Structure 1
């Protein structure tokens, strides 16, 4: 199949692509990245999170990684994915523009995969791939639609978080038919960002399973979502205060140092 992947230029998307691309090599693959998700604002907590999710890896880590042949590492940077793709990774922030729509149409993707892409996909784009658009949402649907679902689940005292593989059927957010979901036990001593990264191991397995079913002519069965559930946006100052008062952390530097080792050995 001809597959277009829409992702975000952040650490979790990079991890997801590292988990997905080697297993999709029998397909034609292209990757378009957005530069960020939404408009997170200027709260210090969100700035700190953005530093670890984007600035640290994109500006400090990835540009200085040795080439894969010079290291025995598990993960690649965005630019190092090129040998696994039909063309190098590109930044495309305006996926719904006339120019982008014409380009995607010319690529004739059979399937579009969405992972943390930083914009709402509109109907003209959704109509292009004949096998549809599948999104991997880092939250359990329909309970946690929207942004930073893992944060809100942890703040609400959930014992489990999860990822949901679902079709995008229109330009509403996280409402399409659910293909599958997986769950992860919350470890309160671990940070929010640690939990987000952990979710992509199981989540990418769900996505790979859906792709392979489609490749063999079996369209995944998707169950309609309940109209119940909630939509969440970026947390405000009082939400971060409540998160901290519960003894929860957004980011832990030691966890991040341990994770970044995967890019070196």
Structure 2
């Protein structure tokens, strides 16, 4: 089968690919990566802080240093090492409904598209390309947390778990039938960034449970969303971030940062890897007593 995986070129997207690509062995796989930068990232300091953690540090510092190494030093692989190990290029795209993204999608002719943190909305022409459809991994409980920043809104509202929903993409936004999902227990000692990274592997696991039947053309039980329960969320406003901090929660955290980067830099996620010159660390010492992402 031919499978296109659409994700985002950032830390959570890379972690999700690490969980997904090994399970797609035997299929022809194309990886398309969005690089969406929202205008609010430059005007809201909270969004700028998240961008630095999720994109700037991995893409500008960590991953290029790892890619220069002949072999990956850690348990999780950078985009470059994922490409080498699985024989598929991770290609950045600006659009998916026209331009480079649509051209890449059409030329590959996938049977199925899997979308995980892609940040681009599929419209008619792109929706029509894969004969089996498009499955999306949404980091929130649907229909209650449709839209953007679902883990943030879940934490702000004091929920005990963060849902991750696998659903078919239709012509709406986060409106398609649900085929699976998982729940991450909220850890009040951890940051939003930690919860975001740990939510996606649950969705990947749920996706993999239904994937064999989807690819075989077997009926997959799907639950239509109750539109009466739907709440669509957009980006938080400054007052939402203020309320988040007032509850004692953190967007990012240095300890979490080290814990999340640890699996990329050492096999046990507990220490810094050295650069090719053998002297300069790729990243500061990483890891703590909490088990990192696996």
Q: TM-score, normalised by structure 1?
A: 0.94
Which residue in the other structure is 2:250 paired with?
Answer: 249
Which residue in the other structure is 2:167 paired with?
Answer: 166
The CA distance in 1 between the partners of 2:249 and 2:103, in whole Å, is 45
Alignment of 1:1-265 (within 5 A): 1-36=1-36, 38-41=38-41, 42-65=43-66, 70-97=71-98, 100-170=101-171, 172-227=172-227, 228-265=229-266
Look up the SS of the partner of 2:248 in the other structure: coil
The CA distance in 2 between the partners of 1:261 and 1:107, in whole Å, is 35
The CA distance in 2 between the partners of 1:86 and 1:122, in whole Å, is 29
The answer to whether the 8 Å contact 1:93/1:118 transfers is: no
The CA distance in 1 between the partners of 2:97 and 2:115, in whole Å, is 14
CA drift of 1:217 comes to 3.1
Q: Structure 1 residues 212, 39: closer, same or farther in 2, change over 3 A? A: farther
Which deviates more from structure 2 when the two are superposed, residues 239-248 or residues 57-66?
A: 57-66
Compute the RMSD of aligned alpha carbons.
1.7
The answer to whether the 8 Å contact 1:155/1:243 transfers is: yes
Structure 2 unaligned residues grouped into runs of 5+:
267-294
Q: Structure 1 residues 136, 45: closer, same or farther in 2, change over 3 A? A: same
CA drift of 1:6 comes to 0.8
Superposed structure 1 runs of 4+ greater than 2 Å apart: 36-41, 66-72, 83-87, 98-103
The CA distance in 1 between the partners of 2:84 and 2:72, in whole Å, is 16
Look up the SS of the partner of 1:65 in the other structure: helix
The CA distance in 2 between the partners of 1:210 and 1:2, in whole Å, is 16
What is the CA deviation profile of residues 148-206 of structure 1, one whole-angstrom value per residue up to 9, with x for unaligned ones?
10000110111111100000011x21110000111111111211111111112221111
The CA distance in 2 between the partners of 1:102 and 1:16, in whole Å, is 24
The CA distance in 2 between the partners of 1:73 and 1:28, in whole Å, is 25
The answer to whether the 8 Å contact 1:37/1:118 transfers is: no
The answer to whether the 8 Å contact 1:136/1:165 transfers is: yes
Look up the SS of the partner of 2:21 in the other structure: helix
CA drift of 1:84 comes to 4.3
The answer to whether the 8 Å contact 1:38/1:118 transfers is: no
CA drift of 1:118 comes to 2.0
